[in-house]
Amino acid sequence: MSDNHSDAPLLRTPLYDLHVSLGAKMVPFAGYEMPVQYPTGIIKEHTHTRTQAGLFDVSHMGQVFLVGPEAAAALETLVPVDIIDLPQGMQRYALFTNDTGGVMDDLMVANFGDRLFVVVNAACKAQDIAHMQKHLSGRCKVEVLEDRALLALQGPAAGAVMARLAPETAKMVFMNTATVNLVGVPCYISRSGYTGEDGFEISVPADKAEALARELLSHPEVAPIGLGARDSLRLEAGLCLYGHDLDVNTSPVESSLLWALSKPRRADGARAGGYPGADVILGHIANGVSRKRVGLRPNARVPVREGAEIVDADGRKVGVVTSGGFGPTLEAPVAMGYVETALAKVGTQLSAMVRGKPVPVEVASTPFVPQRYYRG
């Protein structure tokens, strides 16, 4: 899970002491000391999230306000996504693209009325903030929220737990956002997450983060969950991890994220193009791509890991695994990777090379487990 690229001293989130007191095993991740698991272990944490509710510390991620009447139009110059028509009180998935049509990061954008609220990945945080400051500062205020933590409450019991704390959250549906009072302070929340389950992400002032975490953990359904289970949960849900399944050399079309490229920004849309790499991406939409991200189900008990080569029946390299591991809900290994487009059809039989031996894998549809977002 380590995504550390420097010798800089590791940072700590406002919940560091709480993690340690809960017996977490702390590891370096994106420059932070983060809990990879708690004493119950990854499998039980994973299952608890799928059956009850898990609490995740995602305070290492970047939180940014874009303030001003031109914020949405300005942000559209960096993403292939419709931000101008994003309704107030809604959140949308977006991608920063580069000039060659690759993905610099994936992010969430919420419309809070007089401002946009942007959440970016921890490993790309400094780069993304610099990117926004460079390209947007002339048109809106780029305000980095250094003093806020971010918690995620995920699982089928998340809605009931949140409704006890803030009854107005019961009427929120998937991708709704709101400002609600929790532990006596305004928090920015969205009904969303990274597990495939119903749930909420909660931005809270850093000095109230531990109080909120303890309040949530006091509910019998809620248990703390580390980065290990976060990874297995998102993999089962078929969700991409930046730097693994998405990168600067791969377009959103190759990444099977066509659904995220809003119609108004496509070739025949009202605001076609106008973002970095638009010509490449619109060309990929029109003409197709030579490789695509697919789900993979290994037909053996052997987990197939990131970096494993994918070969066809003749042993010819046709792709690579970008995420892989054990899927506790499925009680079987799962993986994602890139294969030649001709081989991307569900049911295609291929092999992944594990320690020099071919392991049979089958191209499968994602998500591997049904998404259970709350849509009302």
CB 323 within 8 A of CB 362: no
What the block records as the tokens of 3 is 């995504």
CB of 327 closer than 8 Å to CB of 368: yes
Q: Where are the alpha helices (DSSP H) in the chain?
A: 16-21, 42-51, 71-75, 125-136, 158-165, 209-217, 227-236, 278-287
Instruction: Specify whether the CB–CB gap between 55 and 216 falls below 8 A.
Output: yes
CB-based contact 54:222 (threshold 8 Å): yes
- What letter would DSSP give residue 253? T
Q: Give the strand pairing for 291-298 and 357-364.
A: antiparallel
| Residues 202 and 187 sit within 8 Å (Cβ to Cβ) | yes
CB neighbours of residue 148 within 10 Å: 19
Sheet containing 11-12: order of strands: 11-12, 32-37, 25-29
Longest dimension (CA), the chain: 64
For the beta carbon of residue 129, count every other beta carbon within 10 angstroms. Answer: 16
> In whole angstroms, what is the distance from residue 288 CA to residue 368 CA?
25
Tokens of 325: 């591991």
On the CB side of 47, CA atoms within 13 Å amount to: 10
Tokens of 90: 């809604």
- Write down the residue that tokens 């580390």 correspond to: 226
197 among annotated binding-site residues = no
With H, G, I as helix, E, B as strand and everything else as coil, classify residue 260. Answer: helix
Q: Which of 239, 360, 363 is nearest to 294 (CA)?
A: 363
Closest to 310 in 3D by CA, of 300, 326, 322, 325: 322
Candidates 62, 74, 72, 151; CA nearest to 107 is 62
Mark the binding-site residues for substrate, compressed into ranges.
201
Detail the residues annotated as belonging to a binding site. Answer: 201
